[in-house]
Each structure stands twice: as C-alpha cells, then as structure tokens.
Amino acid sequence: MSKGVATDFLIIGYGNTLRRDDGAGPRVADVVASWHLPNVRAIASHQLTPEMADALAVAEVVIFVDARQTDPHGESPAGVTFTALSAAEDVAPSSAHVSDPRRLLALTRQIYGRCPQAWLISVPGVNFDFGESLSEQARQSVEVALRRIRLLFTSQ
C-alpha cells in the first residue's frame, strides 16, 4: 500500500504554464495549496504522470483541473464545468506519461487496488499562445473554479 499521508481531498492542476491559459490548472492548484487547509493536498504539474498514483491511492476525493480551449466570444467564465470521472477500463503499461485522468485512476486501481472518487474541473480558456499570463476570461474562470472548490471544502 502507499506510504503517503492520508488525504481527504487531492487537487491536481495540470497544464503548461508557459502557454498562457493552459496554465489555469496549475494556477488553481497553487492557490488551493496557499489556503493550507487540513487534509487537502494540491499538486501543480505540467502533465499527469504515473508517479501521481501514490497520492491518489491515499485520497478520498481527487479533483483534476485542466484548461480547455473555447471560442473567445462563445463562453462566459461561468462555463467552468465539473464532470464526474471513473477509471478507464485499462491502462497501457508502456506509457511513460499518463495524459488522461481516467488512465491515472486506472493505474492507481491497478497498483493499489483502489482509486478515489474523481472529478474534472474544466476551465475555459481562449489564448494558448506562448506567455505566462492568463487571458481575462481564463482569469475569471479560475476565480469561478476556486469559489466552487472553496464551497466544497466548507460544506464538509
């Protein structure tokens, strides 16, 4: 079994922080980490990796946060979505990286015999060019996601 510390909530924000709005996931994870909440762990990462299975194995709930590209005029920051996830049917053992949260859940189940309840927060973004700042739409969407995450923690 995992040697990690038991965690009620695990937030994994992933994306490329050098591609503007793609960095929304890590931005959310960094803010959640700064809250220093008990039994909440936040990981900001460029991508999902097999090593994260250890952290998932000791979590009750994992929330993945990633950006998705949208039309600049087609969606408001309220377009942040929460989707329940389940483990993929299988995981390719030869893969060095696990790019899909469902595959990471499957790997966790395969190695540790369990996986946490899982959700994906999808943050709308409009600018994925090179740069480190978020567009105004992505910044507002990150704020919406953070408010919803905070509500989840305070309702427990």
pTM: 0.89
What residues contact residue 65 under an 8 Å CB cut-off, 6+ apart? 11, 12, 13, 14, 24, 25, 28, 29, 120, 121, 123, 145
Q: Domain segments of the chain: what residues?
A: 7-154
Mean pLDDT of all residues belonging to the chain: 88
Place of tokens 């929330």: 63
Of 13, 68, 19, the closest CA to residue 43 belongs to 13
Has domain 7-154 been given CATH number 1.10.565.10? no
pLDDT one-digit tens code per residue, 20-58: 999 999 999 999 999 999 999 999 999 999 999 999 999
pLDDT one-digit tens code per residue, 71-104: 766 655 568 999 999 998 865 654 555 578 999 9
Using DSSP, state whether 104 is helix, strand or coil.
helix
